[in-house]
Amino acid sequence: MLLKDKHCVITGGAGSIGLATARTFLEEGAKLTLIDLRQADLDKAVDALGNSDRVLTVAADVGDEAATKAYVEAAVARFGQIDVLFSNAGNFGTVAPIEDYPTETFDSVLRVHVRGAFLAAKNVVPHMPDGGSIVITSSVAGTRGDPGVYGYITAKHAQVGLMRVLSKELAARRIRVNSVHPGPISNDFQQNVEDDLSGVIGRDATEFFDQQIPLGRHGTADEVAQAVLYLASDKASFTTGAMLMVDGGMSV
């Protein structure tokens, strides 16, 4: 078991990639604290995980500093020091030309991905033992530009900067910090993006993406979870400051 008795905190833990990772981590022996916005969604996630007593849930907004302190305190009170932080919560915002892109949407997207990952690291690191691991879910969108995707693409690039700063600073404690970069994944998050985009580009956006992916298809949340497991575990003991693409070659 790659994560036997390791305490792992997963934000966005009730969502598609968060839940797939939770399931994978549980199978590898981990204890989990799942964070998401709504308790009802977290309850469903716990059901889906078979109501394990190795899972704590805390409803919290990752962009809120007091809520972050509270979820970290609850996590530590239940399972002790935090060996792995998977900062994964995310929202998409919208697609619009620069002059029309709503400033409040830009702020709200950066608040979740960038401020959320920053606050999580700031509050978790004091409770992380030497040799711990932090993984941040960026995206193929953290490596390229696309017209009108102002909030999301800016946020996904900014997470790489945060990851790099953390990786240098925490190396002295052997804490490794990496980002994972999924390409389009078959799930509701991406389907909503593609439904909107199909209207903008006047053709089926799912097909459009598949044509840009050398492997010719969307990925699955489980495929992302396997990459996160690798980075979270000692298998990646000499990997820090890295961007791991899980995108079927889309960024090549």
Tell me the C-alpha distance between 29 and 7, whole Å. Answer: 9
Q: Which of the ranges 97-105, 160-168, 182-190, 227-235 carries the binding residues for ligand NAD, by CB under 6 A?
A: 182-190
**In 3-state terms, what secondary structure has residue 86?**
strand
User: What is the C-alpha to C-alpha distance for residues 142 and 153, in angstroms, rounded to an integer?
Assistant: 6
Question: How far apart are alpha carbons 242 and 109 in whole angstroms?
Answer: 23
Question: Is there binding between residue 101 and ligand NAD (CB under 6 A)?
Answer: no
Decide if residue 248 touches ligand NAD (CB under 6 A): no
In terms of CB distance, is 131 or 249 closer to ligand NAD? Answer: 249
Q: Is 108 exposed, middle or buried (CB count within 10 Å of its CB: 0-12, 13-18, 19+)?
A: middle
Catalytic center residues: 152
Using CB under 6 A, which of 14, 32, 55, 153 touches ligand NAD?
14
CB-facing half-sphere around the CA of 161: CA atoms within 13 A: 9
Instruction: Map the footprint of ligand NAD across residues 26-55, applying CB under 6 A.
Output: 35-37
Nearer to ligand NAD by C-beta: 17 or 158? Answer: 17
Residue 150 has which token pair?
């102002």
Q: Which stretch binds ligand NAD (CB under 6 A): 15-23, 76-84, 127-135, 169-177?
A: 15-23
Does residue 176 sit in helix, strand or coil?
strand
How far is 34 from 78, CA to CA, in rounded Å?
A: 12
Residue 27: partners with Cβ closer than 8 Å, 6 or more residues away: none
Select the residue interacting with ligand NAD from 57, 68, 137, 233 (CB under 6 A).
Answer: 137
Tell the smallest beta-carbon distance from residue 178 to ligand NAD (Å): 15
Choice between 13 and 132, CB closer to ligand NAD: 13
Minimal distance in Å, beta carbon 19 to ligand NAD?
A: 8
Q: How far is the CB of 49 from ligand NAD (least distance, A)?
A: 14
Three-state DSSP class for 59?
strand
Q: Can you give the binding site for ligand NAD, defined by CB under 6 A?
A: 11-12, 14-18, 35-37, 61-63, 88-91, 112, 137, 139, 182, 184-185, 187, 189-190
